[in-house]
Structure 1
């Protein structure tokens, strides 16, 4: 009996001890998890709203920062957010504003969500033309905390880190975005020599908002960057021959990006023209245009048949240094003039999908191969997406001569068409529609189909 009493007493003390531990836990965590979560939400909401001129968000789409960074300017009022984008969207140019809803919630962590459609951020997460793919951009962000007056966010799906910094009071949003766009236009070349102390130690190739750096023949590394009002900034610091660099200032006269970090002013990215570069003015003039022209559809063999053709065409200036119009009597009577883009980065001509007027009807010029082509709305959407991404579509002229013997053969620009269709693009196709809202319901038919195009200057 005595032993039983002793056991009960020990059991009672054990329970009292456990209870004391529970009270001790409450002392350590003075606030419940729910209260802490609510305070975190309130903290972020207050930070977002209490900035006079809004926030500059360094937005990085693409898995592992594979598209580089763009600037989004954001103004929050507690319910709505107004955005302005450096690159714009498929439908809207940069320098415009778009407003939508947002919210800050507590889930597994504090989350900032752009929860109603805003074209400047959701264009990176929307399915591309109904396909099960997108540009790998987030619109929901986990709040990681504050650091040096900055908000640190992490994309909820693709996990890229985004940094938000207060935009200086008095800075005009449109002017700020315009300065970023100006530097991108001025620094149009894609090929650079990497210089340290006046000596070339490697090279760099720019694609969109990425640099591929090769130092002294070593394996190239991909360095995402973002444009600034002064030049560019690498996402992270990198070391080149013992020098740590991240920020660069642009000089239009020298065509250089020069490091502005401490004791690294001798680290320079100097742009140069590729060897086969053709100046804009050299393209102006008259050409023979050779091609294979659509003749008929052979139902028995289920294929398109072509006949050889040619016409005299002229490349006339549209916008100096930027574009041409390809004109001819035949095009004016059967289809439409073709706008050709001059790619200043490479010195090459590119024919992109475009809206045209075809025999008085709304129409489209799209690309294809010898047995098929993309519908107008697909082709034109791809052309619009190219401004946001590395997606390139159209036909590009590859030179086979120079000066008076200039000869151009047109091949697929990029590999977007090939990746979708499994065939290389070789054709330009004019189609007509009964409405500017291109669809199968108002398709009027094929007007002209030119394959294997070659221009020979004379």
Structure 2
């Protein structure tokens, strides 16, 4: 009898456990869905809560290697209005562009700029074959959320991005223009890092990242990148720049001295522009030789230590061709760029040969001093195709049109 009672008790307990387990699963499924909906609604509410919008520190490339760009965003209903410190083909600095956005639940709660908006998608699109461009994101996962700060992670490239509310009364175009002007003014490529008044290391700049190159005992060179974003009065590092145990994050720019001064408490550090020794020797008068003939021209200082300007004419239209000083080769390069306007259209320099054209950012010609006296500079295409030998001046009007060319360019210095 006792055995029968004990058996009956065990059966009842098992049935009760089954009932409880089923109930818990059902409740868990419901609460999980409810939590997802609640999270989406909360994120949308916070996004729309900033009356003057949000300032997004938008970093690009794997680990933010290309540095950050300032984008302002105002979320209302299903739409987001963006403005950027970067001018694009169809928008000026600070000009508004409105598109759709979504907040949904997938791998966590996500923010997606899923309809095309040039101001953000220009960072996400490749420049051409084998060139990923800035490798930016347009889909993000919410990591933390408050009305004072939103932290996001890019879904594809994993860079952490931060949004903060824009203060009331701040005019978007004025603020973004300040940043754009400073970014142009501070765009030097060579710096000395000074700590406690002493030069510690020389630094370069590539896109929006400082670089420090070191050489080990075997002669092997290693370059470290330190991404930053421009602010209205200087620059802010993505992660602290740490050299000799000194940690630096925030800098104020001084145009007169071309100097970044660290404004972190207790830190005496400056990043000071210096002009490379080889830069001045390329300023002067030249004969530009090519298969089309020879013309007199001049290389003038544009950005000290970084760039030169050459004024030419194409179909009687004045243009400016900008050359870069390459410190690694101690010579000059010329990369694809807008050189002027013709018939109301932007006129581009792109490399090519015959009827072939390479309309991509970052492609062009590397210079080499082939003769010392008189200094003679020849040029080689920088993307591993020896057939490419022509500077093509192109404009686009429902197709590419050729305005002029310089085939097999050679510069011979005259003074």
In the alignment, structure 2 segments of 5+ residues that lack a partner are none
Give the equivalent residue in structure 2 for 1:12: 12
Q: Given the superposition, is the C-alpha separation of residues 116 and 256 from structure 1 closer, same or farther in structure 2, using an over 3 Å criterion?
A: same
CA contact (8 A) 2:55 2:70 kept: yes
Q: 1:366 aligns with which of 350, 357, 366?
A: 350
Give the equivalent residue in structure 2 for 1:312: 295
Q: CA deviation at 1:191?
A: 0.8
CA contact (8 A) 1:353 1:367 kept: no
Q: CA deviation at 1:60?
A: 1.3
Matched, 1:393 2:377: no
Give the equivalent residue in structure 2 for 1:255: 258
Q: Secondary structure at the match of 2:11?
A: helix
Q: CA deviation at 1:238?
A: 3.5
Cα-to-partner distance string for 1:189-221 (whole Å, 9 max, x where unaligned): 211111111111112110011111358979542
How is 1:394-413 mapped onto 2 (pairs within 5 angstroms)?
394-395=364-365, 407=375, 409-412=377-380
TM-score (norm 1): 0.75
How is 1:233-272 mapped onto 2 (pairs within 5 angstroms)?
233-264=236-267, 266-272=268-274
How is 1:135-146 mapped onto 2 (pairs within 5 angstroms)?
135-146=134-145
Give the equivalent residue in structure 1 for 2:103: 104
Q: CA deviation at 1:288?
A: 2.5
Give the equivalent residue in structure 2 for 1:301: none
Q: Distance in 1 between matches of 2:202 and 2:231?
A: 22
Q: 2:389 aligns with which of 423, 426, 438?
A: 426
Q: CA deviation at 1:17?
A: 4.0
Number of aligned pairs? 404
Q: Secondary structure at the match of 2:408?
A: strand
Q: CA deviation at 1:41?
A: 0.9
Q: Distance in 2 between matches of 1:345 and 1:178?
A: 29
CA contact (8 A) 1:356 1:365 kept: no
Q: Distance in 1 between matches of 2:158 and 2:5?
A: 60
Q: Distance in 2 between matches of 1:242 and 1:170?
A: 40
Q: Given the superposition, is the C-alpha separation of residues 115 and 398 from structure 1 closer, same or farther in structure 2, using an over 3 Å criterion?
A: same
Cα-to-partner distance string for 1:248-291 (whole Å, 9 max, x where unaligned): 11112221111111101x111111111112399x44x5x42223
Give the equivalent residue in structure 2 for 1:199: 198
Give the equivalent residue in structure 1 for 2:76: 77
CA contact (8 A) 1:58 1:69 kept: yes
Give the equivalent residue in structure 2 for 1:350: 334
Q: Distance in 2 between matches of 1:400 and 1:365?
A: 24
Q: CA deviation at 1:362?
A: 10
Q: Given the superposition, is the C-alpha separation of residues 412 and 77 from structure 1 closer, same or farther in structure 2, using an over 3 Å criterion?
A: farther
Q: CA deviation at 1:230?
A: 1.6
Give the equivalent residue in structure 2 for 1:180: 179
Q: CA deviation at 1:315?
A: 3.9
CA contact (8 A) 2:289 2:410 kept: yes
Matched, 1:438 2:399: yes
Matched, 1:325 2:282: no
Q: Secondary structure at the match of 1:273?
A: coil
Q: Secondary structure at the match of 2:232?
A: coil
Q: Secondary structure at the match of 2:120?
A: helix
Q: CA deviation at 1:424?
A: 7.2
User: What RMSD in Å do the two structures reach over aligned CA positions?
Assistant: 3.9
Q: CA deviation at 1:46?
A: 1.0
Cα-to-partner distance string for 1:96-123 (whole Å, 9 max, x where unaligned): 2211011111223111111211001112
CA contact (8 A) 1:180 1:229 kept: yes
Give the equivalent residue in structure 1 for 2:49: 50
CA contact (8 A) 2:288 2:297 kept: no
In the alignment, structure 1 segments of 5+ residues that lack a partner are 294-309, 387-391
Q: Given the superposition, is the C-alpha separation of residues 220 and 401 from structure 1 closer, same or farther in structure 2, using an over 3 Å criterion?
A: same
Cα-to-partner distance string for 1:314-352 (whole Å, 9 max, x where unaligned): 34989999744224xxx658xx66531255897957364
TM-score (norm 2): 0.82
Q: CA deviation at 1:126?
A: 2.8
CA contact (8 A) 1:289 1:453 kept: yes
Q: Given the superposition, is the C-alpha separation of residues 95 and 344 from structure 1 closer, same or farther in structure 2, using an over 3 Å criterion?
A: farther
Q: Distance in 1 between matches of 2:26 and 2:405?
A: 79
